[in-house]
Structure 1
Amino acid sequence: MIDSISISGMEFYGRHGVLAEEHALGQRFVVDIKLYIDLQKAGKTDDLNDTVNYARLYDCVKRIVEGEPVKLLESLAARIIQSVLKEFPQIEGVKITLHKPGAPIQGIFKDVKVQIKRERKDYAL
């Protein structure tokens, strides 16, 4: 059985999208992330070194979302996952839901989101 750690509702301001205005003006993005990791050792040792530091994880996600613009949510989500897996070698898998509540759609809607799940074996890090 694999344990998990989740952080939901992380909000960042980024400049991602297909339209030039999205790159120029930017908008809010919301990230939910679930990490698949064995937490047995951390449960026994009560040592932060045996798990994932939530603050470091937040900073890792922030760096990507607030960093270099991309056109697609799918690309942004993939970059976040790759960065998380690279920075935290103890993580076995990542599931991310990336929300773009202000997507440029002519109509009434609550949210646009992309959800991706990847395992460490999917990447050559």
Structure 2
Amino acid sequence: MDTMKLERIQLYGKHGVYPEENRLGQRFYVSLELKLDLSEAGRTDELERTVNYAEVYALAKSVVEGEPFKLIEALAETLATRVLDAYAKIQEVTVRVVKPHPPFDIVFDGVTVELTRRRTASS
């Protein structure tokens, strides 16, 4: 399998356990690693033979900027499911969501959830 990556997309969402997070929102960083066969796209130079990463970005943006989740785990799971549902060419997706400023007294680069989901034989 080949790999296509969309790295550290900056999006604004209202995810979190605390009411002020849902009201005020904050920045999130999302990275997607897509596993698919890119050989035909490489040989033909035709967009139809690959996954349009602008569309993948738009899908990620709609999820992150959409309905709030309490947990970034749920946000990442939804992103992975939506990507696999939308693109049959993608065999595996790894989603990384970084919440750089959780609402508690700590100095660090944020909390990250990373998960990988694969297309099942029945999908």
**TM value normalised by structure 2:** 0.96
Instruction: Give the aligned partner of residue 30 of structure 2.
Output: 31
State the Cα distance separating 1:88 from its structure 2 match: 1.0
Instruction: Give the aligned partner of residue 7 of structure 2.
Output: 8
In 2, distance between residues paired with 1:65 and 1:75? 11
Q: Which runs of 5+ in 2 are unaligned?
A: none
Q: Which amino acid aligns with 1:9?
A: R
Instruction: Give the aligned partner of residue 117 of structure 1.
Output: 116
Q: Which runs of 5+ in 1 are unaligned?
A: none
Instruction: Give the aligned partner of residue 42 of structure 1.
Output: 41
Q: Which amino acid aligns with 1:67?
A: G
State the Cα distance separating 1:102 from its structure 2 match: 1.1
The percentage of counterpart residues that share the same residue type is 41
Aligned residues, how many?
Answer: 123
Q: Where do residues 37-76 of structure 1 align in structure 2 (5 Å cutoff)?
A: 37-76=36-75
State the Cα distance separating 1:105 from its structure 2 match: 2.2
Instruction: Give the aligned partner of residue 81 of structure 1.
Output: 80
**TM value normalised by structure 1:** 0.94
Secondary structure of the 1:91 match is: coil
Query: RMSD of aligned C-alpha atoms?
Result: 1.3
Any runs of at least 4 consecutive aligned residues in structure 1 with deviations exceeding 2 A, and if so which? none
Residues 7-64 of structure 1, C-alpha deviations (whole Å, 9 max, x = no match): 1010111000000010000000000110000111111111101101111010000000
